[in-house]
């Protein structure tokens, strides 16, 4: 779960407005013995091309770029981080 949090934070810091659900994948063995998050992919900075771009997904009920403070609170609430 820490890896997922890091990927979310990375996409917000880079302002990747194209980070939608299909950009977060899961890899697993055929017998489901090993399940893991796939490496990050399709990571771009969209605000360079679309000046007023917004996140594709909501964070805490909003489709706005979160501040570092908000990202830390999100991590503490949903990922039980002590950042």
| Cβ-contact 2, 81 below 8 angstroms | yes
Burial 56-81 (b: 16+ CB within 10 A, else e): beebeeeeebbeeeebeebbeeeeee
What radius of gyration do the chain's Cα atoms show?
A: 14
> What does each of the 83 residues of the chain score in pLDDT, given as a tens digit?
889 999 999 999 999 999 999 999 999 999 989 999 999 989 999 999 999 999 999 998 999 999 999 999 999 998 877 75
């Amino acid at each position: 779960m820490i890896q997922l949090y890091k990927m979310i934070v990375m996409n917000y810091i880079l302002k990747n407005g194209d980070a939608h659900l299909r950009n977060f994948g899961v890899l697993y063995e055929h017998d489901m013995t090993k399940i893991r998050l796939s490496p990050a992919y399709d990571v771009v900075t969209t605000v360079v091309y679309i000046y007023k771009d917004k996140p594709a997904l909501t964070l805490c009920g909003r489709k706005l770029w979160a501040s570092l403070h908000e990202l830390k609170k999100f991590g503490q609430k949903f990922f039980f981080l002590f950042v």
